[in-house]
A = this chain, B = another copy of it.
Amino acid sequence: MSDDPIRGGLSGDKVLLGGEATEELYDQGSFGRPVDGGLQLSLVEAAYLLDRSRIAVRLEGAELDFRSFFEKATAIEAGFEFRYVVYKDLRERGYYVQPGVTDFRVYPRGGKPGKTPAEFYVRVFSERQPVPLKDLVEPIKVTRQMRKRLMLAVVDEESDITFYEARERELKGDMKVEVGGGTATLLEDRVMLWDPESSERIHEGGFYGKPGGGRLQLSLVESAYLLEKGLLGIVDRTGEPLSLEEFVRRSRSVEEDFDMKHLVYRDLREKDLVVKTGFKFGSHFRVYKRVESSRKVPHSEYLVHSIPEDHVFHLPVVSRAVRLAHSVRKVMVFARDDGGMVKYLEIGRLKP
């Protein structure tokens, strides 16, 4: 490596260097892209190298110091500041990073371009940026097709970065349940099964509801599921039997998200998982792979929150949800209705 910086010029949103840069920067450091006998750097790469005095950059005959270059770059390229923060962080941790189909691609530790395939595609976000669900679903799809992993790098207002991995997730449990019996009453916004024997059987069989005083209190989604499976009858307070349709209609009027939750609840139960409310964790459900007995309840593995197809993530909210899930050793999963199929999106912390 020479001590003199390599000279180049800012042109549009690139910095162009002569052919002599190729060996030192591209071959040795995987910086830039060789074009027409020279080397082309993105603004982020150029700022990084300029800060280390490995290149010098001129514009209209005058040399730009780091400050001038940086000020210009943020004006030329929306999001430059965030990408620079992330690029610098990953490079300083010793990773090879290159511009990619998302924002960057990152090579595994010890690997480098030309030697090993990239491991991650990276999407950079500002914490202030609302992120529509589809802006995660698309990159996840592309990333999986390319056999990579998707890294989300979220830059907060003080330029700290939180790294997440987002991926589609298959959920599967180990709890086949087919017990039922009895008739319950729909009260104001929950359902009460009065008969001690049915209460015990349904609670012990599938860990449904909350028992007390020989009765069983069931939530609306639990009750709808048991009703549609023919495992429970439900009447209103006058003793009139309720059809599934009528029960769902009334549940909707109590609970805005009822349809969405009902769909996800059913899907999770059909996948042999045990589903309970996640209220204490601020999510719709906490999910167990299996509950042998209500006297020996194991650790629940997932927090599942249902979101609509047009959901927009607010990153501080995602940060809180994922952080809480990790602190109680659970996996945070967002469930959505994808044309009648429920799909699960896991977002987890990543420590590069």
Name A's interface SS. mixed
- Residues on B with C-beta less than 8 A from A157 are 189-190, 219-221, 255, 277, 279
- Residues on B with C-beta less than 8 A from A67 are 185, 192, 194
- The answer to whether residues A316 and B279 also contact, given A81-B189, A189-B81, A189-B126 and a CB cut-off of 8 A, is yes
Q: Which of B188, B210, B237 is the one whose CB lies under 8 Å from A159?
A: B210
**What is the number of residues of chain A that contact chain B, defined by CB distance less than 8 Å?**
59
Query: Cβ of A282 and Cβ of B320 under 8 Å apart?
Result: yes
Query: Cβ of B277 and Cβ of A160 under 8 Å apart?
Result: yes
A131 at interface (Cβ–Cβ under 8 A)? Answer: no
Shortest Cβ distance from residue A324 to the other chain B in the assembled complex, whole angstroms: 4
- The answer to whether residues A282 and B210 also contact, given A157-B219, A187-B74 and a CB cut-off of 8 A, is no
A328 at interface (Cβ–Cβ under 8 A)? Answer: yes
- Residues on B with C-beta less than 8 A from A75 are 237
A283 at interface (Cβ–Cβ under 8 A)? Answer: yes
- The answer to whether residues A188 and B81 also contact, given A279-B162, A280-B160, A320-B320 and a CB cut-off of 8 A, is yes
A62 at interface (Cβ–Cβ under 8 A)? Answer: no
A1 at interface (Cβ–Cβ under 8 A)? Answer: no
A28 at interface (Cβ–Cβ under 8 A)? Answer: no
Interface residues in A293-341 (C-beta closer than 8 Å to B) = 315-317, 319-321, 323-324, 327-328
A253 to B235, CA, bound (A): 54
Query: Cβ of B217 and Cβ of A159 under 8 Å apart?
Result: yes
Which residue of B has the minimal Cβ distance to A239?
Answer: B71
| 0/1 interface trace, chain A 252-281, chain B, CB 8 Å (1 if under) | 001100000000000000000000110111
Query: Cβ of A323 and Cβ of B323 under 8 Å apart?
Result: no
New A-B pairs, 7, CB < 8 Å, besides A156-B277, A158-B218, A320-B321: A71-B185, A80-B188, A160-B279, A279-B316, A282-B319, A323-B324, A327-B327
Nearest 5 A-B pairs (CB), nearest first? A282-B320, A156-B279, A157-B219, A327-B327, A324-B324
